[in-house]
Amino acid sequence: MSECIFCKIAAHQIPVKAVYEDEHSIAFADVNPQSPTHLLLIPKQHIANVNAGSAEMLGHLLKKAANLAERELPDGFRLVINTGGDGGQTVHHLHLHILGGRPMTWPPG
Ligand code: DGP
C-alpha cells in the first residue's frame, strides 16, 4: 500500500519516535493528541480495519496495547479502535488509540 501513511511509518519511510516496536507492530505518539498521552499502535502489515484482522493478530495487538498502556499509564487508560465512517476512522490502516493522562469521560464524542 504505497500511499498508506501508516505503512510508510511502519517501513520507517516517515520517521517517528517509536515508544514500542517489534517485528509485527510499532507504537508512536499521535500527531493530533486528544489526551496528555495519546499513542497509536499499528500492525506493520497493511490491514484496513478491525474487521479485516485475524483473531490471532488482533489478540496479539490488543495484548501489546494493554501491556504498553499499563507501562505508560499506571493510573488507567482507554483503548479505542475507530472503524468506518460513523466510527470516525480517517486512516484506513488498523490502529489502536491508547489514551490517558487525564480522566476520560463517557459517553465519548
Ligand atoms: P482515526 O481517526 O481513528 O483514523 O485516527 C487516525 C489518527 O492518526 C489521528 O488521530 C491522527 C493520526 N495521524 C494521522 N497521520 C499521522 C501521522 O503522519 N503521524 C502521526 N504520528 N499520527 C498521524
Does 83 sit in the ligand 1 pocket, CB within 6 Å?
no
Using alpha carbons only, give the angle 31, 33, 47 rounded to the nearest 5 degrees: 60
Phi, psi of 37 (to 5 degrees): -115, 125
Query: Rounded CA gap, 1 and 24, in Å?
Result: 16
The pLDDT tens digits of the residues spanning 52-102 come to 999 999 999 999 999 999 999 999 999 999 999 999 999 999 999 999 999
Where exactly are the structural domains of the chain? 5-100
Q: May I ask the CATH class of domain 5-100?
A: alpha beta
At residue 20, does pLDDT exceed 90?
A: yes
Q: Enter the pTM of the model.
A: 0.97
Grid cell in block for residue 51: 474487521
| CA of residue 93 to ligand 1 center, whole Å | 10
At residue 1, does pLDDT exceed 80?
A: no
Exposed/middle/buried for 96, CB within 10 Å: 0-12, 13-18, 19+?
buried
The pLDDT tens digits of the residues spanning 30-46 come to 999 999 999 999 999 99
Grid cell in block for residue 23: 517485528
